[in-house]
Chains A and B, each alone.
Chain A
């Protein structure tokens, strides 16, 4: 059974850096073709893809957020970390991680999500 779980702070101040961790089980990011993506959803709004990291350490970022995002992985710990710098109240959202692959670029399954509020 594949599961993913996001963890990180529930509240960050404007200009701070957000660090989120996705801990997963049931698959390995050392397996050819495996990938993990981050997606976010502001309250009451639609989904926005943020970043992806592949089994071979290739990385992809949202064009509009590229300068603020960094994605990395620790294969031995089955974790993927996303950092987002210079947080702003508009970044308030539920942040999800999800499994994907290089040959099937849909997202399945998703973690439960973690709500991050940006406020002073």
Chain B
């Protein structure tokens, strides 16, 4: 199975900050990568698919980039509702696998 490694595992940031989360695949996955946001006690919510395509309804301050093995999720101007845990997921090959998550906390 393809291993997905996220960094950092957690970060502290302030409202208005620019935040970048990294996801690395153990082998090339082209652009077959999705990003999810999960708030405590809630199900994950799809933010981005195909590495950089914003899901309908997701604010434009979220963006994704990368291909091959290295990917990033950027939140350009952190809002209070963005404090959550973020997961990447590869769907290049079965089984689909998730990163370990990045918790974005209030500084």
User: A residues near B, CB below 8 A?
Assistant: 37, 46-49, 60, 62-63, 96, 104-113
Contact = CB atoms under 8 A, between A and B. Distances in A.
Contacts of B45: 109-110
Contact of A46 (B1, B42, B49, B87): B87
Given A46-B87, A104-B49, A110 B98 contact: no
B interface majority secondary structure: loop
What 3 A-B pairs come out closest when comparing CB atoms?
A: A105-B91, A106-B34, A110-B43
16 contacts: A46-B98, A47-B44, A47-B89, A47-B98, A48-B98, A49-B96, A63-B1, A104-B49, A105-B32, A108-B46, A108-B49, A109-B46, A111-B43, A112-B42, A112-B43, A113-B43
A107 B46 contact: yes
Contacts, number: 50
A119 B34 CA distance: 34
Given A47-B44, A63-B1, A112-B43, A106 B98 contact: no
Nearest to B4: A46
Contact of B98 (A37, A49, A62, A109): A49
